[in-house]
Amino acid sequence: MNDSTATERLLFAEIFDKPVVMEFDQRQGSSDGGAVLLKAAERRYGLVAAMSGCLRDSRQAGKVDHPLQDLFKQRVFSIGCGYADANNSARLAADPMHKMLLDRDPVTGLDMASQPTLSRFENAVGPRQLYSTGAALAESVIERHA
């Protein structure tokens, strides 16, 4: 985004009962505002936490910037927002909405993991861990439908 910012305001009085005002004058903006619904669903069901709990972290603790659960969340939420390719992580690393999804401050919080970090994460998961995450997913689905 360039240094000049335009302030624009939209009102939706004819669509909504209550006034809705949208202002587009922030440097830190995101086009993925609907992702808060994904975050709400994850909080309610705890599926991401359950599945990421099945993974083992064999990295050296002193060299870790991003916890395993954050890497898992980053991939799940990115895919949920339509960014199936980990190459998008370079563009999304500082995105305020995606940082909020990982419980980080949208402006000053630590940027998200890079594409190489995500690729190492994805390639480090073995068959037994994949089976365990699948079992956690199945257990969650069965529990919801019981």
Kindly report whether the global pTM for this prediction surpasses the value 0.85.
no
Q: Give the C-alpha separation, 127 to 134, whole Å.
A: 10
CA distance 121 to 136: 19
pLDDT in the model for residue 78: 92
DSSP state of 3: S
The pLDDT value given to residue 59: 85
What is the block-wise mean pLDDT of the chain (146 residues), using blocks of 10 residues?
50 56 62 82 89 90 88 92 88 87 88 92 92 95 89
What local confidence, expressed as pLDDT, does residue 1 receive?
45
Domain residue extents for the chain: 34-145
Report d(CA 133, CA 19) in Å as an integer. 44
The torsion angles phi and psi of 11, rounded to 5 degrees, stand at -115, 140
Q: Are the CB atoms for 68 and 52 separated by under 8 Å?
A: yes
